[in-house]
Amino acid sequence: MTETSQPSTPAAPEAVIVAGGFGSRLLPLTARRPKHLLDVGGVPFLEHQIARLAEAGVEHIVLATSYHADMFAPVLGDGSRWGVRLDYVLEEEPLGTGGAIRNVADALTDDPDGAVIILNGDVLSGHDLPGQLADFRSGRRGRRVDVSLHLVEVEDARAFGCVPTDDEGRVLDFVEKSDDPVTNQINAGCYIFRRDVIDTIEAGEVVSVERQTFPDLVANGSLVVGFVDSAYWRDVGTPAALVAASQDVVLGLAPTPAVEAVESGARIHPRARVGSGARVSGGSVVMEDARIADGAEVTGSVVMTGASIEAGARVVDSVLGPGAQVGEKAVLMAATLGDGAVISAGTTLPEGERMDVETTR
């Protein structure tokens, strides 16, 4: 009697989060900390990504760090609270997206066919990650997929590089931004690599996956596919985008397993102090040791640890860094305050103003 072999269960995917950028577009909030640890919806941003990866069955995550690398582990720990193993690999010099991925190769397993999910450390996405993984594993016409890219469709692709695909989802090209885009599909910053493809990236060199690795793979006949999913997606790379993402998380518009939406329309830390006559709404977040005085109005804003807003002040769609202070009857609209910045009583900031670390206006 001949035994029939059962198909083997694929090994759990690994993941890499590329979190080495300086976050210059988010200054002054990033003057003293990496952008990946800024509060979004009441938790450090990377918690959203780690929770999503854990939910998708990932058991091992490697964090590729550089700027303020020593700050990650005290916040995120070893990953056990998400049921994953979290390792940290330091990038001594900036190596670009591809170089950063190659730099962590030794921390990954050596199964050449293994799946490695790569996330840009500043993208909040609700796309079907398990679905992308299943599509990656299914192959095309008996061929294994080498790399899968999450693609989103946008109404106006002129500001983006475009990624055209054929009827089977195979990537045909990577086209620079143009006034006449060939497609409305753009790269959304989540990739799945076959493990041995990572080893083909030149070690110790500055490499861009978007401009070098992916086009080279397509040109050399590797199977690169696009997984089109236009669910919630946001690049959290500017203060306005960070505030909008935080609002979406609090209001339940951005699906994330890291935190639950709140019916009150605001998330207030148990150790924050909010006066009974204060109004906090619109997806606002008020972090630990922050203080909102009676008569203050906070709408759609992020108030970080130890910041304070005095009576009669109005803060809308703004972000206050740790220890920032807003005086009585001051008005902030889409403003960004760095650590310890002080806004004097009665001041109205120009809309969109950014105040640097420890400055007074």
Q: What is the pLDDT of residues 320-349, one digit of tens each?
A: 999 999 999 999 999 999 999 999 999 999
Enumerate the β-bridge partners of residue 233.
Answer: 125
Q: Are 43 and 256 in contact, with CB atoms under 8 Å apart? A: no
- Sign (positive or negative) of CA dihedral 103, 207, 182, 166: negative
Q: What is the pLDDT of residues 143-178, one digit of tens each?
A: 999 999 999 999 998 888 899 999 999 999 998 888
Q: What is the pLDDT of residues 19-37, one digit of tens each?
A: 998 889 999 999 999 999 9
pTM over 0.85: yes
Quickly list H helices, 171-310: 195-198, 214-219, 239-251
When pLDDT is averaged across residues 57-85 and rounded to a whole number, the result is 96
193 band by pLDDT with thresholds 50, 70 and 90: very high
Q: Return the pLDDT at 358.
A: 66
Q: Which domains occur in the chain, in start order?
A: 14-235 (3.90.550.10), 262-355 (2.160.10.10)
Question: Which residue matches tokens 């990953």?
Answer: 79
Q: Would you give the distance in Å from CA 272 to the centre of its chain?
A: 26
Determine the Cα–Cα distance for residues 107 and 360; give it in Å rounded to an integer: 45
